[in-house]
Amino acid sequence: MSSTERICGTFAPVPTPIGRDGAFDADAFGRHLRWLAESGLDGAVVLGSNGEFPSFALEERRRVAAAAAAARGGLKMVLGVGSCAVGEAVEMVGEAARHGYDAVLCPPPFYFRRPSTRGLVAFFGRVLDASRVPVLAYHIPQLTGVPISDELLDLIGDHPLLAGVKDSSGDPSELNRLVARCRGRSFLIGSDRLVLAAHQAGGSGSITAAASVVPGLVAEAARSAQAQEALLGIRNLLEEFGLQAAVKALLRHRGFGEYGSRPPLMGLEGEPGRSADLVRRFEELSPG
């Protein structure tokens, strides 16, 4: 994918499967990615927020990136390169190019509160200059505490490797601000609640949690108010049980793998009653 080509379509930000031994399970990853490809999904994001990237050491993230690329099938692939250490982010953009990823997703450094715009421009500049694939800036201020501001985009927006923005704020006003800033570039919505709104506003696609379990419904929601309403019901259910924990519990129920958790995050694997309730209610809502 060239730096000028828009990143389009429906992507799943896939969880990173952890086996009973606490290690990354490459086989489970492959099974899930193949199922997503067979479901007609456009692509997958590896080691994003739903992939719990801060839970994995750099060497583990290298292995995850390689395993996902090997199992991609026909999926477009985006690699999360998030880190507070700019050197680690740069190493991960190198992994993306090495394994044939189509783009990378880069949040701002999330430990440092109120960093200067000058510092953020220098951080993103190092990543962009090092990358050989397009870079999506990741706007998720509720987790990072650092927004992708207009000022920041003004200062880095002419870089040829800046592909656009993923907006996971969940805020319709931020959707409107950022989709306007991304004219001619890629704007991907990160909220299941706003898939249709982003499409209608001129966005190029979505990267939303529910796509890991109902990929067809998320794709349809970009075109149908009825599907968007059904997707809202699924998203509300997932959030009721804990978004990431619920997605992993559903993948575990489908037999893809164990999908355990690493502290401090906790899943539903130790709560069989709640897991069974989630599965029952999900199957009542799910289109298939």
3-class secondary-structure state, position 80 = strand
Helices 58-70, 26-38: inter-axial angle, 10-degree rounding: 40
Residue 286 in any domain: the answer is no
166 noted as active-site residue: yes
3-class secondary-structure state, position 8 = coil
What would the pLDDT profile of 97-110 be if each residue is shown by its tens digit? 999 999 999 999 99
Question: Domain span at residue 47?
Answer: 9-224
Residue 96 in any domain: the answer is yes
Residue 265 in any domain: the answer is no
- Give the residue-averaged pLDDT of 139-165: 94
Residue 63 in any domain: the answer is yes
In contact, 173 and 155? CB cutoff 8 Å: no
Residue 249 in any domain: the answer is no
- Give the residue-averaged pLDDT of 127-155: 96
Residue 263 in any domain: the answer is no
Interacting residues of 194 by C-beta distance below 8 A, sequence separation 6+: 170, 172, 175
Which amino acid, 205? Answer: G
At residue 30, does pLDDT exceed 50?
Answer: yes
Tokens read off for 133: 């694939």
138 noted as active-site residue: yes
In contact, 206 and 175? CB cutoff 8 Å: no
Q: Where residue 182 sits, what CATH number does that domain have? A: 3.20.20.70
The confidence score (pLDDT) of residue 10 equals 98
User: What is the distance between the alpha carbons of residues 98 and 112, in angstroms, rounded to a whole number?
Assistant: 30
Mean pLDDT of the chain: 95
Interacting residues of 95 by C-beta distance below 8 A, sequence separation 6+: 61, 62, 65, 66, 79
- Give the residue-averaged pLDDT of 155-170: 94
- Residue 3: which pLDDT band, with cuts at 50, 70 and 90? very low
User: What is the distance between the alpha carbons of residues 180 and 41, in angstroms, rounded to a whole number?
Assistant: 26
The confidence score (pLDDT) of residue 84 equals 96
Which of 76, 101, 138, 248 is catalytic? The answer is 138
Residue 248 in any domain: the answer is no
Which amino acid, 235? Answer: R
pTM of the model: 0.96
What would the pLDDT profile of 223-267 be if each residue is shown by its tens digit? 999 999 999 999 999 999 999 999 999 999 999 999 999 999 999
What is the sign of the dihedral through the CA atoms of 180, 105, 8 and 51?
negative
3-class secondary-structure state, position 206 = strand
Which of 101, 166, 248, 259 is catalytic? The answer is 166
Residue 191 in any domain: the answer is yes
CA-based R_g, the chain, Å: 18
**Domain tally, the chain:** 1
User: What is the distance between the alpha carbons of residues 127 and 154, in angstroms, rounded to a whole number?
Assistant: 17
At residue 162, does pLDDT exceed 70?
Answer: yes
At residue 2, does pLDDT exceed 60?
Answer: no
- Give the residue-averaged pLDDT of 19-37: 96
